[in-house]
């Protein structure tokens, strides 16, 4: 599935969002990027790792979708265009300007989920063609790296998920290292024990040549 996370926001207030099941939690990343979107109407693509954040900002509303880089730009922008049309045509509360965060999650959330499923499985070809035409004519669509718009503190926040994954890997590595050390310790003990036994056996064989197998002849010879 190429489209991973989508939302509609009024300014920086998320009104509705949807994320594919089983994916990492990208809410912190999307919220950070949302805070960097200028208030003027624009279209832009932000790059972060292997993901692309595409958005359309118009009339104070932001329509944003996060996708794998393999999806390119035509399909995500076609999705955003259709999302924008459906959102505008949906019945709106009379107080939509004062809606709280996620105030449209219950009413518009299923629409967004269904639309994302459609574009992840069989995107309409006419919408893709329309998006390609728009992308080829609009000159203000740019691609920026997320690292260029974030300060150091925000970079740290976006790296939290990656750090958690690395911590899990390091924990597993430590467990494996302890197991290897334990195995090596027992192997060294067995080698030392075997060496002691061999040394004692050699010492006994050397003594047996002069004192007999029971080591009792040396005492008799001294008594004589």
| DSSP structural state of residue 100 | P
Categorize the per-residue pLDDT at 146 as very low, low, confident or very high, splitting at 50, 70 and 90.
Answer: low
Residue 106 above 60 pLDDT?
yes
For the whole prediction, is pTM greater than 0.75? no
Closest CA to 55 of 8, 113, 124: 8
Query: Are the CB atoms for 28 and 7 separated by under 8 Å?
Result: no
Residue 137 above 60 pLDDT?
no
C-alpha angle 70-118-91 in degrees, rounded to nearest 5? 125
Q: Which residue has the higher pLDDT, 75 or 177?
A: 75
Per-residue pLDDT, averaged over 175-199, amounts to: 81
CA of residue 125 relative to chain centroid, distance: 31
Q: Which residue has the higher pLDDT, 205 or 156?
A: 205
E runs forming strands in 49-140: 51-58, 61-68
What pLDDT does residue 98 have?
Answer: 76
**pLDDT tens digits, 201-213:** 888 777 777 776 6
Residue 133 above 80 pLDDT?
no
E runs forming strands in 133-178: 142-145
Which superfamily does CATH assign the domain made up of 3-158 to? Longin domain (3.30.450.50)
């Amino acid at each position: 599935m190429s489209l991973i996370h989508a939302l509609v926001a009024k300014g920086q207030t998320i009104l509705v969002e949807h994320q594919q099941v089983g994916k990492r939690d990208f809410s912190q990343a999307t919220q950070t990027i949302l805070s960097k979107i200028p208030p003027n109407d624009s279209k832009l693509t932000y790059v972060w790792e292997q993901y692309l954040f595409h958005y359309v900002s118009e009339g104070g509303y932001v329509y944003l979708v996060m996708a794998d880089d393999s999806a390119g730009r035509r399909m995500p922008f076609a999705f955003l265009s259709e999302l924008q049309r459906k959102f505008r045509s949906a019945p709106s509360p009379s107080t939509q300007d004062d809606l709280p965060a996620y105030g449209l999650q219950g009413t518009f959330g299923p629409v967004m989920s269904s639309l994302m499923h459609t574009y992840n499985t069989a995107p309409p070809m006419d919408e893709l063609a329309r998006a390609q035409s728009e992308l080829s004519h609009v000159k203000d669509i740019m691609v920026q790296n997320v690292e260029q718009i974030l300060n150091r503190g925000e970079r740290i926040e976006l790296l939290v998920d990656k750090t958690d994954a690395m911590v899990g890997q390091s924990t597993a590595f430590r467990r494996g290292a302890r197991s290897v050390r334990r195995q090596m310790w027992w192997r060294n003990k067995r080698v030392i024990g075997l060496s002691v036994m061999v040394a004692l056996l050699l010492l006994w064989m050397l003594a047996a040549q002069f004192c007999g197998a029971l080591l009792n002849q040396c005492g008799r010879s001294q008594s004589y």
